[in-house]
Structure 1
């Protein structure tokens, strides 16, 4: 399934992440959340933690380009083996608190990583 965005901001995010080994497969934007599915080329099992940060920071970078912060729910799939590597979530409130200086980068990262669900190997 190819990613076919109908939102120019999502398309820019997708294009920027390709150079980091993240390939959007699907996106569904509702009133209170954005659900994304992406493939990773990173080796190993599970979800690459650094890549979670890259995805979130790319969305943070496009706030000035019209992206309205929302909750993001992500499913990560292995690019070669086609199996699910895990899921993670970033709550809109956490991002707003980070942007307003109410949460540190470390606290924010800990909250996101606490949502990480990876299949048992």
Structure 2
């Protein structure tokens, strides 16, 4: 069943990610991008790379249900103290190239990780 609204999609994504220790605090979509702010339960500093994959794959699942792909810009904070842990981006063009077989999963992941910005300590 296609998702009819961004709100329905975000509600589905949010509930799926909660079980993975990712809590969406804010999401705003315009014609060019989805801007996400989420908190992570993962221990340590920085942005957990595995969670980036989890977030992207959850959005890929809802895209298969009919939601339009878009660029995602994410900011990550710690759930305990709200400390800024970093940010990352996934360009819509990369996702389309991946789906068309023009990029491998490894190349796609590398491009996303190249956008990762974490505060220096």
Band of TM-score, shorter chain? over 0.9
Write the distance in 2 (CA, Å) between the matches of 1:80 and 1:46.
14
Q: Matched residue pairs, number?
A: 117
Write the distance in 1 (CA, Å) between the matches of 2:66 and 2:6.
14
Unaligned ranges ≥5, structure 1: none
What is residue 118 of structure 1 aligned with on the other side? 118
Change (3 A) 1:6 1:67: closer
- The C-alpha deviation readout for 1:11-52, integer Å capped at 9, x for no partner, is 101110000000000001011100000000000000000000
Q: CA deviation at 1:64?
A: 2.4
Write the distance in 2 (CA, Å) between the matches of 1:67 and 1:44.
33
What is residue 22 of structure 2 aligned with on the other side? 22
Q: Does residue 59 of the first structure (1) align with residue 59 of the second (2)?
A: yes
Q: CA deviation at 1:55?
A: 0.2
The two structures, once aligned, show a CA RMSD in angstroms of 1.2
SS in 2 for 1:62: helix
What is residue 72 of structure 2 aligned with on the other side? 72
Write the distance in 2 (CA, Å) between the matches of 1:114 and 1:6.
28
Q: TM-score, normalised by structure 1?
A: 0.94
Q: TM-score, normalised by structure 2?
A: 0.94
Alignment of 1:34-49 (within 5 A): 34-49=34-49
Q: CA deviation at 1:98?
A: 0.4
